[in-house]
Structure 1
Amino acid sequence: MEPVTVIASALAAGAAAGMHDSVSKTVRDAYDSLYRCVRAGLDGRSRELDSALADQVVVRESGSLVLLPGLLDLVKDAKAAEDEDDLRKLADRVAVLADAGQPTTVSINCQGVQVGRGNHQHNAFNGPR
């Protein structure tokens, strides 16, 4: 995956995770470090970054994994000004920590499997398969 995409994805994941009270201090600290590093590379354009992240969180919370162009453009600008290796390491840490709390599900020959949080499910099974 292209470094810009990795960094933007980690920013989006960290911003979305930060909206939940259950996020650990470790995830918040990792995200804050990445956010500060990207913001430093934007030379006073932090409002643009905040706006792009807010838009991205709305898209991510709606179930979409599409990265918005505004966030990608800002990360490209920041990457040009900051050390790409540092940004990538911070992004990788956020991605690992933000995903650590997500369940891993393996379903083989199952009925009525539900994956995700906050879902509602009603099953009606009509006998054995």
Structure 2
Amino acid sequence: MSARIFSAAMLAAFAWLPQAYAGNQTIPASAEGQVEFNTPSGKIGCIYTPKGGTGTYQPQDGGPELVCSRVEPSYVTVILGPKRPATLVKNPGEQGCCSDVTKLGYGNSWSKGPFTCLSSRKGLTCTSSSGHGFFVSRAKVTVK
């Protein structure tokens, strides 16, 4: 293969990278270590709570914990711990999702503790280092 063809092939292969994967987005934590973000649509919102919790909230198993809620077409909440499968709560009662906080841009990922989330126009995918996780979109919610 000539150097010219090889160079053209390499440029074509990597040309999609900036659009398909914008990178890791840093979102600042509160004084107690919680991180809150929404998807750009404002329909999905998440709160990360560090191990040990905060002065006002303690995760069920001590944390860390990631809780994400979707507001439409029905309000649901998904709870992900560091080692257990995600839990889907179809009628969470309390509905305080999606205040005016940092947006996790489409194509961007966020990581903290054992959790990583990727925002896309199709929805939000979050996983823990144990392999458990969930996908949330307007059309569906799946947990594993």
TM-score range (shorter-chain normalised) is: under 0.3
TM, length-normalised to structure 1: 0.26
Structure showing the higher strand proportion among its residues: 2
Structure showing the higher helix proportion among its residues: 1
Bigger relative contact order (CA 8 A; separation at least 6) = 1
